[in-house]
Amino acid sequence: MGLSSPRNGMSPVTHAGAPGLRPSHPTRLLPRCALALVLCLLAACRAGESVATVVNESEATEILTVLYEHRIEGRKEEFGEEGARRWRVLVGAGDVASANQVLQDYGLPRPSDQGREGARDSGLFQTDSAEKARRLKEIETEIERQLRLLPGVVRVKVNVSPAAGDLLELNPPPATASVVIVCKDKQPTFTDENVRKLVAGGAPKLKPENVTVAVAYEPPRFVAGRESGGRRSVVLKFALISAAVLCLLLGALIALHLRRQRGRQAGAPNGEGELPGEAPASLPDPGARRLNAGQKAAQASASGSAAARVE
């Protein structure tokens, strides 16, 4: 009984000495694995951790500029629904600590307290004291925003005490204010008199001589790795891209080697001495063996009987 022919008209292929088993095809998996590796590497290069979230794009750009000055690479990303858009600033995982320290030294991101724009969100009915407190908070917020525009200012805190509104008092206390400014420059380019005028101009019935100003000097702290942070990020990206390219080249070389090896096997004689163009020799049939044995026994008995008759 001969070997059964394989399906679909394909010749049987041996693998590791076992007939009828088709060899695995690693060349089919190599492009997929290489593509998955490249996508993972690109995602790793693109990923980052958020260090700040702001409500406008201009402040996000300012934060990126400050980080870039300290050799920290980052990017901004917009998110949120329409009408409530926000921007987050992302840096590499290895630069999170340095970025947080730099932003703290520069007072970024700025407080998101509402100033005059908060009046649009106020309720229809409010008590007189609540309305006065809201209005006072708006005044202080607007003054702090103006003072942050001064060069070198990191943090600002303003407290305004409005003038008394009791008409029955003979000598009502005047409006006063106190200002604390934290500056990163040891010698600020502005004077206390400039600050008093700015504060007095932002609050009603407030005179410059009734404004107390305190300026504190706080230099930026040294952050380890600031100088090499950007260079390290570039080197990491280059290494990841190089690894992806090497994997692709290695996969291509392996595929070429396997293809050449299959070509050699197809052009060389098989293990039984038969060429590929010749029909494979059929294996001996056990039934035929039994038939031959019976024929030989019959011939032997016939030969014995003939010899007996001759005698």
User: Looking at residue 143, what is its pLDDT?
Assistant: 94
Residue pair 269/37 in contact by the 8 Å Cβ criterion = no
User: Looking at residue 272, what is its pLDDT?
Assistant: 46
Rounded distance between C-alpha atoms, residue 158 and residue 281, angstroms:
101
Which residue stretches of 111-219 are H helix? 128-148, 192-202
User: Looking at residue 113, what is its pLDDT?
Assistant: 63
User: Looking at residue 253, what is its pLDDT?
Assistant: 82
pTM of the model: 0.51
User: Looking at residue 249, what is its pLDDT?
Assistant: 81
Which run of H or of E encompasses 178? strand 175-183
* Residues of the chain predicted below pLDDT 50: 1-24, 117, 119-120, 226-228, 271-279, 281
Rounded distance between C-alpha atoms, residue 182 and residue 155, angstroms:
5
| Amino acid identity, position 285 | D
User: Looking at residue 207, what is its pLDDT?
Assistant: 93
Rounded distance between C-alpha atoms, residue 198 and residue 145, angstroms:
11
User: Looking at residue 40, what is its pLDDT?
Assistant: 65
Rounded distance between C-alpha atoms, residue 140 and residue 147, angstroms:
11
Question: Which residues, other chains included, contact 166 with Cβ-Cβ below 8 Å and sequence gap of 6+?
Answer: 172
User: Looking at residue 5, what is its pLDDT?
Assistant: 46
- The distance of Cα 162 from the centroid of its chain, to the nearest Å, equals 50
Token couple for 261: 């090896």
CA distances from 145 to 138, 141, 150, 198 (A): 11, 6, 10, 11
Token couple for 222: 């040294």
Q: Residues 40-83: pLDDT tens digits?
A: 666 655 567 899 999 888 889 989 998 988 889 899 999 888 77
Exposed, middle or buried by CB within 10 Å (0-12, 13-18, 19+), for 145? middle
